[in-house]
Amino acid sequence: MSDIQKSEKFYGRRKGRPLRDRHQKLIETLLPELSADLSAEQVDMEALFGKKPEQVWLEVGFGAGEHLAWQAGRHPELGFIGCEPFINGVARMLAYVEDEGLENVRLHADDARLLMDKLPDASLDRMFVLFPDPWHKKRHNFRRMIGPDNMPRFSRLLKDGGDLIVASDHADYVRWILYYVSTHGDFDWLDEGPGDWYERPEGRPKTRYETKALAGIPHYLHFRRKARS
């Protein structure tokens, strides 16, 4: 059995259509160079990036990589880690890395929890969870990324004052997120009104999903890690 308990079994697609030759080659050659070594007790962040970045930002579920590549290209002084189990999305992100010369990106092509459990305490300055699968059937709610099982992980990993950036277009999931983040107690919700949570923040690209596949009204939620006592 893996490090993830049976109650936290991974759910979701791993692969879609067959990969193009170029994408398959990137999976075989470039992905190993960018992947964190999880065999040690803890990931050495400086060794992972080859130097100590000014900040480290983590995106959980980067999809096709549009947002991750956009951020990494505009912030070369920062280190970026992207987690995505869907191999077709990983392949697209690898193409961005190669085409745009993104030297500050590292990838984890598996369940994000496996990586998060190996990262050091207070090692992240920002975390993104953008349009995660809402698992809209009630019996599947336990599979949601934002919830009681993962809030302790987010709390442990973010530095004091670190940002948790969440977006969802599923109204029930938005209510779920607000409940579990607020009841956890380690985060402040920074949004002050509809003008904050209905408008996509500046400094973020509009992804393909937001353009074509929205199921409802998108909500953009911004939380900040409280100072540890």
Q: What is the pLDDT of residues 204-225, one digit of tens each?
A: 888 877 776 566 788 999 999 9
Does 115 fall in a domain? yes
Active site residues: 133
Residue spans of the chain under pLDDT 50: 1-7, 10-12, 135
Asked if residues 176 and 146 have their Cβ atoms less than 8 Å apart, the reply is yes
Helices (H), 63-192: 66-74, 87-100, 112-116, 151-157, 171-184
Distance CA 153, CA 155 (A): 5
Does 221 fall in a domain? yes
Q: What is the pLDDT of residues 16-45, one digit of tens each?
A: 578 889 999 999 999 999 999 999 999 999
Q: What CATH number has the domain bearing residue 201?
A: 3.40.50.150
Find all residues with CB under 8 Å of 225, minimum gap 6, and list them: 155, 158, 159, 160, 161, 162, 163, 164, 186, 187
Q: What is the pTM of this model?
A: 0.89
Does 8 fall in a domain? no
Does 159 fall in a domain? yes
Q: What residues does 35 pair with on adjacent strands?
A: 107
Distance CA 7, CA 22 (A): 37
Distance CA 151, CA 73 (A): 29
How many other CB atoms sit within 10 Å of the CB of residue 106? 22
pLDDT of residue 10: 44
Domain interval for residue 219: 19-33+49-225
Residue-wise burial string across 118-132, b where 16 or more C-beta atoms lie within 10 A, e elsewhere: bbeeebbbbbbbbbb
